[in-house]
């Protein structure tokens, strides 16, 4: 009886150990950012989300462990012939994210290889329809076209292509040297044109300045002549008024007016006489002094 109990105890212990071991095998901890696909007898049954999950040990197996985070794929550099028969080397990088673990695991054998080959095929097709100059200047257009084609095809695989970016377009070295020389020539040409334009503007401004100076000088002369004419006109008017006053005074028999006229005439003649270069000695008649003393005080 004691031996029978010992065998039963051993069996129970072994059974508990196996149950605990099987339970441990059935507990799966999925890291954040991943999803695992589960198969039962070779058939997909569910997808395990991040955290603790339970499966049936020895019946359910983990088929794929897929990262659901955004990832990058460097496409190997490809030689592409453009529309104008120039061979260029193109580097592309793809940014993608799995949005359905079951589709990524079962819709295509290797989705990364599928995206790789799809990208290579379409980059050659897109750039083959462009000239080299257009390909170099329209990178954004190439990126958008490539993204649309690859993304549309990869959606059925449970993969979302987020961005497609061209890292580099490298023409042959001899062509690159020729392009560099052409760009240098264009820069030199623009520099010469700008310098010539600067000289032209300088001459134009200088001519405008001289023109304005001449105009201002002419305006000044015109204003001075106008002021001089005004002064002469006023002087003539004053002379006319003075002559009229003197004429009226003489007409009325004013002796002082008559003496003033005689003295003024003598004064002018005397002034010319005294300022003459040949004059050595000037004698003034006594009558003039008397006339001054009698009529002009």
DSSP 199-266: HHHHHHHHHHHHHHHHHHHHHHHHHHHHHHHHHHHHHHHHHHHHHHHHHHHHHTT-HHHHHHHHHHHH
Q: How far apart are CA 72 and CA 93, in angstroms?
A: 7
- What pLDDT is recorded for position 157? 93
- What pLDDT is recorded for position 31? 92
Q: How far apart are CA 63 and CA 98, in angstroms?
A: 16
Distance from the Cα of residue 129 to its chain's centroid: 30
Instruction: State the DSSP code for 85.
Output: S
Q: How far apart are CA 212 and CA 219, in angstroms?
A: 10
Give the Cβ contact number of residue 140 at 10 Å. Answer: 10
The burial class, CB within 10 Å (0-12 / 13-18 / 19+), for 88 is buried
Q: φ, ψ for residue 58 (rounded to 5)? A: 70, -10
- What pLDDT is recorded for position 191? 79
pLDDT tens by residue, the chain, 297 residues:
455 556 677 777 777 777 777 777 778 889 999 999 999 988 999 999 999 888 888 888 899 999 999 999 999 998 898 888 888 899 999 999 999 999 999 998 899 999 999 999 999 999 989 888 888 888 899 999 999 999 999 999 999 999 999 988 888 777 666 666 777 777 777 878 888 888 888 888 888 888 888 888 878 777 877 777 777 777 777 767 767 766 766 666 665 666 666 666 555 665 665 665 555 555 555 555 554 444 444
- What pLDDT is recorded for position 275? 60
Cα distances from 285 to residues 63, 282, 295, in angstroms, run 150, 10, 16
Find the helix packing angle between 111-128 and 139-154, rounded to 10°: 140
- What pLDDT is recorded for position 294? 47
- What pLDDT is recorded for position 296? 44
Cα distances from 77 to residues 101, 130, 168, 250, in angstroms, run 29, 18, 9, 122
Q: Which residues contact 127 (CB under 8 A, 6 or more apart)?
A: 80, 82, 88, 90, 135, 142
């Amino acid at each position: 009886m004691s031996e029978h109990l010992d065998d039963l105890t051993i069996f129970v212990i072994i059974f508990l150990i196996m149950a605990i071991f099987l339970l441990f095998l059935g507990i799966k901890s999925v890291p954040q950012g991943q999803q695992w696909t589960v198969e039962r007898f070779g058939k997909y049954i569910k997808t395990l989300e991040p955290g603790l999950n339970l499966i049936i040990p020895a019946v359910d197996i983990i088929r794929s462990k897929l990262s659901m985070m955004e990832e990058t794929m460097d496409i190997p550099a490809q030689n592409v012939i453009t529309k104008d028969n120039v061979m260029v080397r193109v580097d592309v990088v793809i940014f993608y994210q799995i949005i359905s673990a079951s589709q990524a695991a079962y819709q295509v054998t290797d989705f990364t290889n599928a995206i790789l080959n799809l990208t290579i095929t379409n980059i050659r097709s897109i750039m083959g329809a462009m000239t080299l100059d257009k390909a170099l200047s329209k990178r954004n257009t190439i990126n958008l076209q490539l993204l649309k084609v690859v993304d549309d095809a990869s959606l059925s695989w449970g993969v979302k292509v987020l961005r497609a970016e061209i890292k580099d377009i490298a023409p042959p070295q001899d062509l690159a040297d020729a392009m560099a020389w052409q760009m240098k020539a264009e820069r030199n040409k623009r520099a010469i044109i700008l310098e010539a334009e600067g000289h032209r503007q300088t001459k134009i401004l200088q001519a405008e300045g001289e023109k304005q100076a001449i105009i201002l000088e002419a305006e000044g002369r015109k204003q001075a002549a106008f002021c001089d004419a005004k002064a002469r006109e006023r002087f003539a008017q004053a002379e006319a008024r003075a002559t009229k006053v003197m004429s009226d005074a003489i007409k009325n028999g004013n002796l002082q007016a008559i003496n003033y006229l005689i003295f003024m005439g003598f004064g002018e003649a005397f002034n010319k006489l005294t300022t003459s270069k040949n004059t050595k000695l000037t004698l003034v008649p006594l009558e003039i002094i008397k006339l001054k003393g009698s009529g002009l005080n």
